[in-house]
Chain A
Amino acid sequence: MSKESIVTVSIDGKMVSVAAGATLLDACRQAGVDTPTLCYADNLTAANACRVCVVEVEGSRTLVPSCSRSAEDAMVVQTDSERVRHSRKMVLEFLGSGVDLSQADDLAGWIDYYGSEPDRYGPDRAMIKEEVRIQDSLYIRDYDKCVLCYKCVSACGEDAQHSFAIAVAGRGFDARIRTEFDVRLPDSACVYCGNCVAVCPTNALQFKTEFDLRKMGEWKPTEQAVTRTVCSYCGVGCNLEVHVQDDTIVKVTSPDDHDVTSGHLCIKGRFGWSYVQPGQSAAEEGD
């Protein structure tokens, strides 16, 4: 690599060199600095919406989102200054004050770390209250948990599936993920690839199998075995991670860093496992 294609930045006083075009988040990772993210995913275009990954860059009036700001040579970055801690605390607090983060496993530790207090806005505060949408036997949508990170929209759209079945509709706190006129998923352009489910960070989108097991108090992720295999449907070679609990497949994912899938699958790989366990799968239970 030529010298010009390397930039060196200071992260909390530690000098790190990254390839030109790398983000500040990449630089933070290289410096060994753990950074909370929500709307960012390695396999999606950065949405730059949640602002939980903000850092302080010397000379910048405002904080900058590390996920989508390119590292520039000689940048001086603080990731744990009072300003950064305050903004991260407040972003997590704001989110927790409006939606249900109880299944956002990756956030719990950060909420604790930054001391966010979502309840201090009082019991009368506006929160998102919507019925769980159960419109088929493959996945459910529980928008009380939606943080509007845009990941499902990107995965449904140009980052993976190109179905464009969902988009953000409305404005401000009333903005929601919607099909056109909120038509039922089976009536929309949805092809049930489940890539939206795979990228959802708060479990607002869940496999129906997981939803049913949770309802019964039977969801036990720690007791699940995850087996990596190759999808048997066609010749593309998508790798699958089959999650099994009590000898039953409960969901299927694909590794984000897999060359073929980048974590994305089609309906067959994602939901078409019923032939493995005839008579058991949620897909056969019907709606």
Chain B
Amino acid sequence: MADLHLSEDLASEAEVSAIDSAIAELGLDPAVVQETPRLVRGGNRRRASRRHGLLPALHALQRESGWISPGGLNHISKVLQVPPAEAYGVASFYELFRVDSPPDHDGNVVHVCVDAACQIAGSAKTIASLEAQGVAVHRSPCLGQCERPVAQFIQGRQRPDSVEADGVENGSIDGVLWDLPQKHDPSLKLLARVGRIDPTSLEAYVGSGGYRALARAFTLGASKVVEEVLSSGLAGRGGAAFPTGIKWQAVAAESGQKYVVANADESEPGTFKDRTLMENDPFALVEALTIAGFATGATKGWIYVRGEYPLAVQRLQNAIDAARDAGFVGQGIARSSIEFDIEIRRGAGAYICGEETALFNSLEGFRGEPRQKPPFPTTHGLFARPTAINNPETLLNVLSIVLDGGEAYAASGTEGSSGTKLFCLSGNVVRPGIYEVEFGPTLGEVLELAGGVVGNLRAILLGGAAGSFVGPDMLDLPLTMEATRDAGLSLGSGVIMAFNDEVDLGAVVTRIAEFFRNESCGQCVPCRVGSLRQHELLESSLSSSRGEEPLGIVSGSAPALLLEEMDRVMKDASICGLGHTASTAVRSAIELGLMRSSR
């Protein structure tokens, strides 16, 4: 064997078998150890052939042993030819892998969400009661179940992972159809099938209009599909609102191996729309990604799903398999000469991997650290190849664009924001859930869709933890990209989280700061240290010392000015959007006077 230096720790037979079968599932032969010493070069970053098996292999080991054991890591390193120090660096990056021996080797780990929606619904109580029962609890960032707090993600030891949330049994694929607040609304587009058809049945999908868009795309031809997406004015729904057509056009113009990626690492606190789509209409994502591949000339698609969405992974895999059996995925799809295949990758607990270049690194088997841009993914994306990356909501819009034409799509919504948008309503609203609206209604009107606010509205978190708090005076704000931009705000991922005047908002904002501190990858100094100092400053300003009333932070005070200084360097000099937005919610809360004291 080549010159890998491994310790003497050996994997157990069970570990070897778990790791080997996970690697074999990827189509890699676990027994093959390439002879060339060059393959050992972990720094051979662009080597796609084996290293991308690292995340699946680590998942298999974690599930088998409850941790990343030294023997197990050795086996992974040997089979994938990854230096053990690098494999350890990758494993230790993720929330769902533990690299120290757990005290209780037999148990599952229960991840309890402590972010805003669950925080105000009483996650602290849930944790206390679980711990009293002797359950191993891990305080988790947002689990994307905000409409049904308090959410728990149960990471299985030698059994599948599952999610427990308020009143929902969704651990198995036989789970009930999701109950959508708007389910009887005939105007729904993205949510048209959600809760209405069996998400595990290709027949049901085709019966409800599925795969008509792909057929239409083949009739139009690849370049015409790109034109339709361009003329539709479709903009990315993840927060940056980049025109999807321009992205696709750039990738289509490149030659050689290309990729399309569905960024389903939905981790923005307060966001659960992509989960709802993937769990309840998985074939739609498979079809939309296939169209993206056809339009851009990519023969391979990847869906990177956050690790805490086991049901979405299960249903997507079922959908891909069924579509492959029916000839919609694979060689010669839908009786054409087109080749397109899809592979799913599970994340392992890292908000930063929703940043597109961090996602590429993670998928390739490296630490999920963002890359410097330029170069952009359209020329240097996954495995350094041209890549079109979009989130599921964005991709699903393509189905109606292809079917009805870009012009028709552009006619819906407003001048600057075409189409419909999914909003994630949670917090103190009467009916939390996903709502689809054609761009145009105001914040207040969308809140009314959810039955309005429970209690007296104090503030709304708009756009997620990376977004801003706004006050009740902003209820007339039209929820369009142009109107929010003009107001210095962002729709972000469509989060609308309402808080009434009984909520301890100081605690909510402090938790948001802690979220960024925990989720910063640590690569660049402004974000690594800035997010830490910001959280420390909030904690010290809002905690009472010697029984005195806490000071709080008011606009213009010394701590507020220091936070502003920190915010400026994070916005100006951080590598990626995490650092750029780590202070946005905090500063907006101070300006709204939400941080006067912790009540």
Residues of A with Cβ closer than 8 Å to B? 48-52, 54, 62-63, 65, 68-69, 83, 86-87, 90-91, 94-95, 97-98, 120-122, 124-126, 147-148, 157-159, 162-175, 178-181, 183, 187-189
Is A188 a contact partner of B562 (Cβ separation < 8 A)? no
B125 in contact (CB, < 8 A): no
- Whether A169 pairs with B88 at a CB distance below 8 angstroms is yes
Asked if B532 contacts A172 (CB within 8 A), the reply is yes
The main secondary structure of chain B at its interface with chain A is: helix
B51 at the A interface (CB under 8 A): no
Pull 9 A–B residue pairs with CB atoms less than 8 Å apart, ordered by A: A51-B526, A87-B569, A90-B568, A157-B42, A169-B93, A171-B520, A171-B521, A188-B85, A189-B84
| Residue B49, interface by CB 8 Å | no
Contact B517 A173 (CB under 8 A): yes
Task: State whether the Cβ of B87 lies closer than 8 Å to any Cβ in chain A.
Answer: yes
Q: Is residue B519 contacting chain A, with contact meaning CB distance below 8 A? A: yes
- Across-interface contacts of B89 in A (CB, < 8 A): 167-169, 178
Tell whether, in the assembled complex, residue B575 and residue A183 are in contact, meaning their CB atoms are under 8 Å apart. no
Q: Determine if B42 and A83 form an interchain contact, defined as CB atoms under 8 angstroms apart.
A: no
- Further pairs besides A90-B526, A122-B536, A168-B522: 12, Cβ < 8 Å: A52-B525, A63-B573, A94-B528, A157-B43, A164-B40, A169-B92, A172-B517, A172-B532, A178-B89, A180-B70, A181-B70, A189-B85
Inter-subunit contact A94/B530 (CB<8 Å): yes
Closest to B519 in A: A172
Ranked nearest first, the 5 interchain pairs of A and B with the lowest CB-CB distance are A158-B43, A167-B89, A164-B83, A94-B529, A175-B522
- Given A121-B533, A125-B533, A181-B70: A148 and B43 interface contact (C-beta under 8 Å): no
B59 at the interface (CB under 8 A from A): no
Contacts of B524 in A (CB 8 A): 49-51
Which B residues form the contact surface with A (CB < 8 A)?
A: 4-5, 7, 40-45, 70, 73, 83-89, 92-93, 99, 350, 367, 372, 517-526, 528-533, 536-537, 540, 562, 565-566, 568-569, 571-575, 580
Q: Report whether over half of chain A's contact residues are helix, strand or loop; otherwise say mixed.
A: loop
Q: What is the distance, in angstroms, from B324's C-beta to the closest C-beta of chain A?
A: 36
Q: Given the complex, which residues of B lie within 8 Å of A51, measured CB to CB?
A: 524-526, 573-575
CB < 8 Å: which of A91, A120, A187 contacts B526?
A91
Tell whether, in the assembled complex, residue A94 and residue B526 are in contact, meaning their CB atoms are under 8 Å apart: yes
> When chains A and B are docked, how far (Å) is the Cα of A178 from the Cα of B99?
13
Question: CB distance B92 to A164 under 8 Å?
Answer: no
A125: min CB distance to chain B, Å: 6
Report the minimal beta-carbon distance from A106 to chain B, rounded to whole angstroms.
Answer: 16
Residues of A contacting B517 with CB < 8 Å?
Answer: 172-173
Q: How far is the CA of A159 from the CA of B533 in the complex (A)?
A: 33
- The answer to whether B85 and A178 have CB atoms under 8 Å apart is yes
Chain A residue, CB-CB nearest to B522 = A175
Closest partner residue, chain A, to B367 (CB atom):
A168
| Contact residues in A for B575 (Cβ distance below 8 Å) | 48-49, 51
Name the one of B44, B92, B372, B533 contacting A94, with C-beta atoms under 8 angstroms: B533
| Contact across chains for A90 and B85 when beta carbons are under 8 A apart | no
- Chain B residues with CB under 8 Å of A95's CB are 525, 529
Contacts of B518 in A (CB 8 A): 171-172
Instruction: From A68, A69, A91, A180, give the contact of B85 (CB < 8 A).
Output: A180
CB neighbours of B536 from chain A (8 A): 121-122, 124-126
Kindly name the residue among B367, B372, B580 whose own CB sees the greatest number of chain A CB atoms within 10 A: B372
Looking at the complex, which one of A62, A162, A163, A172 makes contact with B522 (CB distance below 8 Å)? A172
Q: How far is the CB of B41 from chain A (nearest CB, A)?
A: 6
